[in-house]
Amino acid sequence: MITENQYMGGLEGSIPVLVQALNWMETAEEIDDLFLGDAEVWRRSSIGQAGPMGGDFPFITREGHNVLDVIFTSPIQSLAEVAESLDKVDGVVDHGVISKFPLVLFLSPSKLLPVSLYLFSCVQGCNNAV
């Protein structure tokens, strides 16, 4: 639980994206173009750090898919928009954004006041309180 002044608004970090092995580089380039200037796309390595291409031992799933990490260099304003954009890219099998379930966010204006409960629907952009 966080207080109102601790809530930052934008999220930072990376999102894993599962892509088909065939033409994975073209898929990675298309994802990179989506978030140009806001993110870097790296192929995940199975051993240590290996750079953007995944090195000599890229991480491959049992199904033969590659895992890309979309590393955001600026805050993510809307995870729902990121998820929608990734869903439209040919070659993307799945991604690490869970946006079809309501989220519960507890905000307290101060430590002494009761906690307010807000329900957000990420499908609608996480901006509408219910």
Q: Which helix (H) or strand (E) holds 48?
A: none
Report the share of the chain in percent with pLDDT over 70.
Answer: 67
Mean pLDDT of 9-21: 85
pTM, full prediction: 0.68
Let me know if 69 is exposed, middle or buried by CB neighbors in 10 A (0-12, 13-18, 19+). Answer: buried
Let me know if 52 is exposed, middle or buried by CB neighbors in 10 A (0-12, 13-18, 19+). Answer: middle
Report the C-alpha gap between 35 and 52 in whole angstroms.
Answer: 16
118 vs 84, residue with greater confidence: 84
